[in-house]
Chains A and B, each alone.
Chain A
Amino acid sequence: MTAAADTGAAERIAGLRLSRRRARIRLVAVMCGLVVAVLGLTLATGPTMTTPSELLRVLAGHYVPGAGFAVRELRLPRAVLSILTGMSFGLGGVIFQTLLRNPLASPDIIGISAGSSAAAVFAIVILGWSGPAVSVTAVIAGLGVALLIYLLAWRDGVSGTRLILVGIGLSAMLDSLIAYVLSRAPAWTLQDALRWLTGSVNGATLAEALPVLVSLTVFGGLLLARRGNLEAMRLGDDTAAALGVPLAVDKVLAVMAAVGLIAVATAVSGPVAFVAFLSGPVAGRIAGPGRAPLIPAALVGALLMLLGDYAGQHLLAGRYPVGVVTGALGAPYLIYLIVRSNRTGREP
């Protein structure tokens, strides 16, 4: 009789799992559809409108007078770069938030994005580098800053609160370094400075998007391949160790992959404010309880970047870089998180 009850329960659980899995797949499909729809919108609209049939012909490689240049040279690189960097920010952010089990521990708050962009600015302005060398420098600096934060927050173990506060201090220092390097480069235009202060995809080219695509494939693939162990780590270090997860190796791998994602994207688009911070919690809200929403977070990041850039370009009076729009969205959300955690009495 107990055996029968057990099989009944097991079947119910299996059924629940299946329906949850289906719901997740449906969610990802809907979000992919949304990304494609917004992509179509950003490609088709602008100062000159392009009809869908013209758009398809341009994308198929035909010559379309009047639309080919605007779509292929201006809008497409911009949109592609937005999607790729948005996915990188979203995935990297949600990994940090999951590993440290704190929505505030996203790389743009604890200073990892600031480290990458300080290194990138230094490499570009002072050393005169460009291309992949800048990306590599940004990744190394991001890893270095992550390690430094971890070491400085270490005191008989690392607590999330101390890590966040140390990160806030370090990022203030790195921000002032960025300001100094930018002030040393008076010939630079305001636009270039803004890229490193708030993040922007202005003047994007498809060649710039290549390193982001590579890092998204390599690091993102690595993270998705090890996601089972990531789930175990969410239960806490002790439980994960008891479940047989090689903690040290997997944690280091996950952090390195997340830093890589963030740093490469930052080297190209600058530290776009709050995309990494917002994507995880938003995706968690949409996907509901269960596994860490890695793929939904990446898609939310892509949507945020696309919509933020579109709003900054066309919806507001004047043209703003995407970082200004996402910053204006993200700060109220951060305040909301603090207020809400106050009401429930949990640590934010």
Chain B
Amino acid sequence: MTTVEATGVTLDRLRRSRRGRVVWLAVVVLTLACACLLSVGLGTRAVGWGDILAGMSGTTETMAQAVVAVRVPRTVLAVLAGGALGLAGAVMQGVTRNPLADPGILGVNAGAAMAVVIGMAWFGMQTLGAFLWTAILGAGIAACFVYAIGSLGRGGATPLKLALAGAATSIAAASFTMATVLPRNDIAGGVRSWQIGGIGGASFDAILPCLPFLAIGLVLCLLSARSLNLLALGDDAAAGLGARVAWARGAAALGAVLLCGATTAICGPIGFVGLVVPHACRLLVGVDHRWLLPFSALTGGILLIIADVIGRIVARPSEMDVGIVTAFVGAPVFIWIVRQRRVRDL
């Protein structure tokens, strides 16, 4: 009798929280739609509703319609890149069971950037397809390296060790990138514009080749939601419940690396999205990865669009790189997380 009642109460709570999650999902999707509209409408030149509709349908007769035609691919890229980074961050935090995991802090983005610059300098790469492969390779190598160093020895991969290994790897990669670029004036311009490029110069031609990578990464990450839930209980408990720990970890990490590498190949390194977004989402929907991962993807898209719009408005008539805005939003959240936890946990 009591068990039935207790089960009833638990089920009720679950359902209620599921209802809450559905409401939040609707809110997030609506916000994303509004953010997209804002991104198309706002900027150095503000445009009206009529121009937005006309521009969306492809006409570029007036200045305003041409502006809209440029802003649409940019908005699409912001959604894709932000979603990929947010999702990758949530997966990395799950795989490493570490609240400070983020593609920027763990040095994965810097590794991808170094690989692309080496490809430009030594192998004469020019095409985006080549950038993609090298970026993903670099991201993968950096991720394995940082995780291997951070988890050596007693205590496993503590946040401090991972953050330090990531910082060291980032600095080493940045030094090496600089050393590769400096003596070659012929590629210096290309590298700089790629590094600072952000999402400003987006076009559908540039976005298309990345889509397969993003799609595979997305599927891998979403499929690993259940095993991430098991991993959260600890490796032994997860193995006891029937998860193949190493495989689950590897698949999820591969998905995250694909997402980060592809994003870095188009936009250059963007930090802190993957750190901030999952923490915000955990406040909304709790720690269940089956909900957390899709929410992180949507919220990541929102964050990057808004950061891009802020970057356009603040520095009118020029623009502020989206990576700079995300650092200013993200670093305070990072510090807040560090302050929240007891030192023993870190």
Interface residues of A (CB under 8 A from B): 104, 109, 152-153, 155, 159, 161-162, 164-166, 168-170, 172-173, 175-177, 179-180, 183-184, 190, 194, 197-198, 273-274, 317-320, 323-324, 327-328, 330-332, 334-335, 338-339, 341-343, 345, 347-348
Contacts and interface: CB of A to CB of B under 8 A. Distances in A.
Interface of B: 100, 104-105, 149-150, 152-155, 159-161, 163-165, 167-169, 171-172, 174-176, 178-179, 182-183, 188, 196, 271-272, 315, 318, 320-321, 323-324, 327-328, 330-332, 334-335, 338-339, 343, 346
A159 B339 contact: no
Given A165-B338, A331-B169, 17 more contacts: A109-B167, A164-B160, A172-B330, A173-B327, A173-B331, A183-B196, A320-B179, A327-B171, A327-B174, A328-B176, A331-B172, A334-B171, A338-B150, A338-B152, A338-B168, A341-B153, A342-B153
A332 B149 CA distance: 12
B171 A273 contact: yes
B323 A176 contact: yes
Given A170-B335, A348-B161, A331 B179 contact: no
A338 B328 contact: no
Contacts, number: 140
A165 B154 CA distance: 20
In order of increasing CB-CB distance, the 3 nearest A-B pairs are A342-B153, A318-B183, A331-B172
B164 A348 contact: yes
A224 to B, nearest CB: 31
Contact of A348 (B160, B188, B330): B160
Most chain A CB neighbours (cut-off 10 Å) among B104, B149, B172: B172
Contacts of A109: 167
A342 B169 contact: no
A347 B153 CA distance: 11
A338 B172 contact: no
Contact of B343 (A162, A338, A345): A162
Contacts of B175: 198, 273, 323-324, 327-328, 331
Most chain B CB neighbours (cut-off 10 Å) among A165, A179, A319: A165
9 contacts: A161-B346, A165-B100, A165-B163, A166-B338, A176-B324, A194-B182, A273-B175, A324-B182, A328-B172
Nearest to A155: B339
A166 to B, nearest CB: 5
A152 B154 contact: no
Contact of B338 (A162, A194, A318, A338): A162
Nearest to A328: B175
A168 B168 CA distance: 11
Contacts of A335: 149, 165, 168-169, 172
A183 B191 CA distance: 14
Given A169-B338, A320-B182, A324-B182, A331 B324 contact: no
Contacts of B104: 172
A204 to B, nearest CB: 19
B153 A345 contact: yes
Contacts of B174: 327
A273 B338 CA distance: 25
A73 B343 CA distance: 53
B343 A166 contact: no
Nearest to A334: B168
B346 A342 contact: no
Most chain B CB neighbours (cut-off 10 Å) among A176, A330, A341: A176
A77 B44 CA distance: 46
Contacts of B343: 159, 161-162
Most chain B CB neighbours (cut-off 10 Å) among A161, A172, A341: A172
A92 to B, nearest CB: 19
B331 A172 contact: yes
A205 B38 CA distance: 51
Contact of A172 (B164, B169, B272, B339): B272
Given A179-B324, A345-B154, A172 B168 contact: no
A338 B161 contact: yes
B213 to A, nearest CB: 27
Given A109-B167, A165-B100, A338-B168, A152 B339 contact: yes
Contacts of A327: 171-172, 174-175, 178
A32 B178 CA distance: 32
A183 B321 contact: yes
B178 A324 contact: yes
B201 to A, nearest CB: 14
